[in-house]
Amino acid sequence: MTAPAAEPLPDTRELSVVIPTCGRPEVLRATLVALLRQRDELRRAEVIVVVDGEDPASVAAVRELAGDAPCPVVAITQPRSGQGVARSEGIRRATGRVVLMLDDDIVAAPTLVAEHLRHHAGRDDTVVTGALPMPALPREPAHYRLVRRWWDDTLAEMASPAHVPTFRDFVTGNVSVPRARLLEAGLFDPAFTGYGREDYELGHRLLRAGLRFVHAPAAAGVHHYTKSPLDWLRQARPQGRADVLFARKHPDLLGEIMTLSPYPLVPYVPAAVALGERLALRLNDRGGVLWKKVVSTVQAAYYWRGIREAVRDADELERMVRALLRGRTGTDRLSLRGRFKVARARATWRPAAWV
């Protein structure tokens, strides 16, 4: 059933663009320059940049570009608290009917804003997910190529007529939602302070509230991915911590959560991880089978370290291990090897036993 939106008055603000940022003023500048070229579409809009932590250069970039902008462009600052908290603060400050969330490294295509607004016209029950293609580079580092191909596959799946939306569709690099619906859902959970899953968790709540998810490929923003290979490897650790929190809040999703990053159970041995990182960096220019094996092992060690840091007890760790094994085998019945893995995980769950 269509939920009609009230017809906006001529002087009301239709759109608020919220962009969190931290320590990347030149990247942010490129994002704002591309966005502010869409002058007609932004005349009933505002742009709110939430600067997460001490970052005077980013604040200065926002103020400089605001002078010739077609709409109000403001920077607000907060103590370093993470992207989810920053987005929530921007949404609270927003005055537009619809909130468009962009990452600070998304360079908007000319139709991005218009396409988001088109899908929200006359409705207040729609979540619009835009495309986030990464450009192919002449000499791509292996980690960049792997991430780019993952995004290519993900966007192709979302654009498929057979696609059924899930919480995985709610990627906050390029997504818009009526502000009232975000407030009703409770915004981003502030417990997610590290990398990952705060978007999926809110996406789950929006789906559960009955909102209609629409993918808009023409609402595209080119994703200028700049993460270093070392940061890319190590992000698996906060991702593991976030998966524990996500599963604790939504136990019914545990099986699906453990398929998001189905890393094998690899113990964290500092010397081995450091050696793996050095080898991965040495091979990152060309990639290959050995590179893939090394990076998957290092990421798995970091991921399970993050999980062990976040679980409350051996029982919680066992549930996550069993969900991983169940996803790999398709059965609740554990093999002898699986039972050994569960027993070993329980015996070593305390941080003092493995750090």
Q: At residue 5, does pLDDT exceed 60?
A: no
148-177 tens-digit pLDDT? 999 999 999 999 999 999 999 999 999 999
Give the predicted TM-score (pTM) of the model. 0.90
Instruction: Give, to the nearest 10 degrees, the angle between helix 270-283 and helix 289-310.
Output: 140
96-122 tens-digit pLDDT? 999 999 999 999 999 999 999 999 999
271-296 tens-digit pLDDT? 999 999 999 999 999 999 999 999 99
- Residue 214 has φ and ψ, to the nearest 5°, of -130, 130
199-226 tens-digit pLDDT? 999 999 999 999 999 999 999 999 999 9
Q: Is 128 helix (H, G, I), strand (E, B) or coil?
A: strand
Q: At residue 74, does pLDDT exceed 90?
A: yes
250 closest CA partner among 194, 300, 201, 319: 201
What is the average pLDDT score of the chain?
92
90 closest CA partner among 79, 72, 107, 78: 78
Tokens standing for 302? 């970091």
Q: Residue 188 and residue 206: Cα distance in Å, rounded?
A: 11
Grade residue 352 by pLDDT with cuts at 50, 70 and 90.
very low
Q: Residue 216 and residue 323: Cα distance in Å, rounded?
A: 33
Angle in degrees, CA 186, 133, 135, rounded to 5: 140
Domains with residue ranges and CATH for the chain: 15-226 (3.90.550.10), 230-353 (no CATH)
Q: What is the mean pLDDT of residues 179-194?
A: 94
Q: Residue 234 and residue 228: Cα distance in Å, rounded?
A: 10
Grade residue 347 by pLDDT with cuts at 50, 70 and 90.
confident
- CB contact at 8 A, 73 and 66: yes
Tokens standing for 226? 């700049």
Query: What was the pLDDT predicted at 341?
Result: 83
- CB contact at 8 A, 128 and 216: yes
Q: Is 165 helix (H, G, I), strand (E, B) or coil?
A: coil
Q: What is the mean pLDDT of residues 331-355?
A: 73
311-322 tens-digit pLDDT? 999 999 989 988
Q: Residue 313 and residue 135: Cα distance in Å, rounded?
A: 43
Q: Residue 322 and residue 311: Cα distance in Å, rounded?
A: 14
- CB contact at 8 A, 285 and 141: yes
- CB contact at 8 A, 320 and 287: no
124 closest CA partner among 87, 102, 98, 100: 98
Query: What was the pLDDT predicted at 355?
Result: 42
Query: What was the pLDDT predicted at 10?
Result: 45
Percent of the residues in the chain that have a pLDDT greater than 90, as a whole number: 82
Q: What is the mean pLDDT of residues 6-15?
A: 64
